[in-house]
Every structure is written in structure tokens, then in C-alpha cells.
């Protein structure tokens, strides 16, 4: 059973890393196109901010997968030291996620009321 949980946690961790890498690749390509546009004397400030927030969204999603993988790993090896390390990792990732999420939410346009 532990080997299965180890495998599952590894797969979840790989998915989390892949989400982050995928987001970085997408944003780098989009940013490259924007920078070319900037060389043509066009303002790209708003688009660059949009890209920054999109990258933040990919990071948030990737962090969630990585936290899930860490939780699964701790289930298979529940020593006090591992639990303390997991607690620290979750705390750090939660703080990072909170601030990223807050920044993304502040950037999002307000929702319209349907009356």
C-alpha cells in the first residue's frame, strides 16, 4: 500500500511541476511577442500585467498539486520530523498562494450584477 501511495504522490508532484513549467513556457512565448510589439513603440503595460497574473494562476495551481503530493508523502511516512517539515512547507506555500491569489483577485475586473 505504501508503494502505491508513494507512486501516487510522485505522480501528483510531477503534475504540479508540469503545471508550473507549462505556465512558464506559455508566458515566456506570450511575453516574447509582447516585447516585439514594444519595440514597435506600442505600450504593453496592461498586457504585461495580464501575463504576470496568468503566471500567478499557474503557480497557484501547481502549488496546490505540490501540497497534495507532500500530504500524500507524509501519509506514507508519518514521523514527527516529516510532519513538522510538511507543516513548514504547507505554511510557506500557503502564504505564497495567499498573496498570489490576492494579487490576481485585485487585478480581475469586478463582476457585474445581473438585475
Distance CA 84, CA 97 (A): 20
Contact 5/72 with Cβ under 8 angstroms?
yes
Which of 8-17, 20-29, 106-115 is least confident?
106-115
Specify whether the CB–CB gap between 76 and 5 falls below 8 A. Answer: yes
Check: CB of residue 87 under 8 Å from CB of residue 55.
Answer: no
SS3 11: helix
Q: Return the domain boundaries, the chain.
A: 2-107
- pLDDT at residue 71, as a whole number: 83
Closest of 3, 21, 23 to residue 76, by C-alpha: 3
pTM, full prediction:
0.73
Q: What is the pLDDT of residue 113?
A: 58
Condensed to tens digits (0 to 9), the pLDDT of residues 42-61 reads 787 888 888 888 898 898 89
Amino acid at each position: 500500500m505504501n508503494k502505491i501511495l508513494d507512486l501516487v504522490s510522485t505522480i501528483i508532484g510531477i503534475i504540479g511541476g508540469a503545471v508550473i513549467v507549462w505556465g512558464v513556457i506559455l508566458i515566456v512565448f506570450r511575453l516574447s511577442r509582447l516585447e516585439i510589439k514594444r519595440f514597435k513603440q506600442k505600450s504593453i503595460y496592461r498586457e504585461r500585467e495580464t501575463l504576470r497574473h496568468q503566471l500567478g494562476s499557474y503557480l497557484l495551481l501547481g502549488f496546490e498539486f505540490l501540497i497534495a503530493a507532500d500530504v500524500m508523502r507524509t501519509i506514507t511516512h508519518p514521523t514527527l520530523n516529516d510532519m513538522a517539515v510538511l507543516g513548514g512547507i504547507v505554511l510557506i506555500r500557503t502564504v505564497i498562494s495567499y498573496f498570489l491569489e490576492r494579487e490576481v483577485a485585485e487585478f480581475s475586473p469586478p463582476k457585474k450584477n445581473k438585475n
